[in-house]
A and B are shown apart, each in its own frame.
Chain A
Amino acid sequence: MNAQTLPGAAGNGASPDAEPILAVENLSASYGAVRALDNVSLAVPAQGLCAVLGANGAGKTTLLRTLTGLHRASSGRVLLEGEDITRLPTEKVITRGLAHVPEGGGVIVELTVEENLRLGGLWRSDRRSSTTFDEVMDLFPPLVERRTKTASTLSGGERQMLAIGRALMGRPRVLLLDEPSLGLAPLVTKQIFTLLRDLRDRIGLTVVLVEQNAAGALSVTEHGYVLNQGSVAAEGPSDGLLADDRTRHAYLGF
């Protein structure tokens, strides 16, 4: 099964030399009797922008949740910078440098904008924490004036920014994003995608972007994986996937 759906995965055409910063090896996960992930393998190079695409129920969200320990893997491994993090509890995974912005952002609407951001950096408990706060504020000017307001007053786009900002407060190496474009206007979506690219260029962040908006995600990333019914149905350079009519029609629906 794995061998058929993952041609060339063992050699990993994307970055033949560099060891991937995030490696997923034959990862499987289930909800009761339903297998949500079936032998999924990915290799994300450091400072790469990687898209994970697929229809509803293809396993994209489960993949991210399993990576950060919110869902338990039934088999397989997750390696972050060569270290096995598969069985670590979520709060430990985060401190290893893997941040996860869940679907909808997971902003805590009862807390203020500033409290949400500070929360993301609390575990660091080092002096740099306040510089990070200023840096994050600089990235998102709309949040500055809302600083003392509760997050419930923010628009969808602002919430997504806050969620990303909170994740950045922990100075992660790898950022996992679950459908940041969900419910956002196309222009705002574009801003967020552009921001991801900026972050990679400026602070060397590695990004794994889960999206249903396949065209948008492929245009901003370098490499893409297409999930179908819990396994990798296709993978390759983003422009290649974008140009490949068969993959597009079969899995991406455009």
Chain B
Amino acid sequence: MNYFITLTLNGLASGAAYAALALSLVIIYQATRLVNFAQPALALLSVYTAYTVTQLTGSYWLGFAAALTTGLLVGAFVERVIVRPIARTSQLNAIIVTLGLLLVVQGAVGMIWGNEQHGFRYAFSYVGRFSPADVFSLVAVGVVALLLFGLYRFTPLGLRMRAAAFHPEAARLSGVKVGLMLTAGWGIASLIGALAGMLAGPPFISPNVFDVVFVFGITAAVVGGLDNPFGAVIGGLLIGLGMSYVSGFVGPELATLTALAIVVIVLSVRPDGILSRPTARKV
């Protein structure tokens, strides 16, 4: 029983990072119907920035703040300067461009910081089952999810952002600057992506450190329902739990297969994800 609880807590902790990454994908998909394949690249850039800041200042938390700031700014920049001009011609082009951006940024990070692994000091101990680092992961993602919910639900900015996402023309006719809302959405999404990176990356970072995490993140987003933020969180935790149970009770070599199995099972029952569109309208 004790073992089961440990596995559960572990699963939730690793699921938290997937949930955060899934959230960052869903926020953008919801607003633009675009899967942002560049998300792990933006997280990568943020985490390496944090690495350098931490090295220079010796403070993990300055690095942490730098990561989130970098995510916010780079996300907004990518939307405004790279994605938007291309999305005007075709949505598919924009998706391909985000994929290209992923490769370019990964390459650039390798050129700047080197392709070898760097040890990234962590603020909390990550040894043992359900370590302080795990607790921090869960709490950080929980707080971010709540803040995001509050932002969308209760602030004028959130109302504008939702209006722009659901019905851009009606939003414009209500005086909303839809383009600005898109930029803000990308910024916030990439900030959360950077958080996911800070949770999933250390203790070792390298240009390809997020490849696997991203696969689980996007899996979580699809499982939860691509246009539902709550679904993203549920999907992330579900993937984390499933992989933790299977690797604990059956064997770690089957963990990745578990994620695939969850996708197949969930989508065969609910093809649009756990929280599909009709539910999303109620929240």
Contact = CB atoms under 8 A, between A and B. Distances in A.
Interface of A: 68, 70, 89-91, 94-95, 99-102, 106-111, 115, 118-120, 122-123, 150, 152, 166-167, 170
B175 A70 contact: no
B88 interface: no
Most buried by B among A94, A95, A119: A119
B156 interface: yes
A100 B159 contact: no
A150 B282 contact: yes
Interface string B154-189: 001001101100110111111111100000000000
Interface residues of B, number: 20
B159 A109 contact: no
A152 B163 contact: no
B170 A108 contact: yes
Given A115-B159, A122-B160, A150-B282, A106 B170 contact: yes
Contacts of B160: 119, 122
Contacts of B173: 68, 70, 90, 94, 99-102, 106, 167
A111 B175 contact: no
Nearest to A151: B281
A123 B175 contact: yes
7 contacts: A100-B173, A101-B173, A118-B159, A119-B171, A119-B176, A122-B176, A166-B174
A122 B162 CA distance: 13
B170 A91 contact: no
B281 A109 contact: yes
Contacts of A91: 172, 175-178
Given A118-B159, A120-B174, A106 B166 contact: no
B73 to A, nearest CB: 24
A88 to B, nearest CB: 12
B226 to A, nearest CB: 15
B174 A110 contact: no
B281 A119 contact: no
Most buried by A among B160, B170, B177, B281: B170
A153 to B, nearest CB: 10
Contacts of B177: 91
B175 A122 contact: yes
B281 A70 contact: no
Given A122-B156, A170-B175, A110 B281 contact: yes
Contacts of B167: 106, 108, 110
Nearest to A95: B175
Contacts of B282: 150
A110 B162 contact: yes
What 6 pairs across the A-B complex have the smallest Cβ distances?
A123-B175, A106-B170, A90-B172, A94-B175, A108-B167, A110-B166
B263 to A, nearest CB: 26
Contact of B169 (A99, A102, A152): A102
Contacts of A118: 156, 159
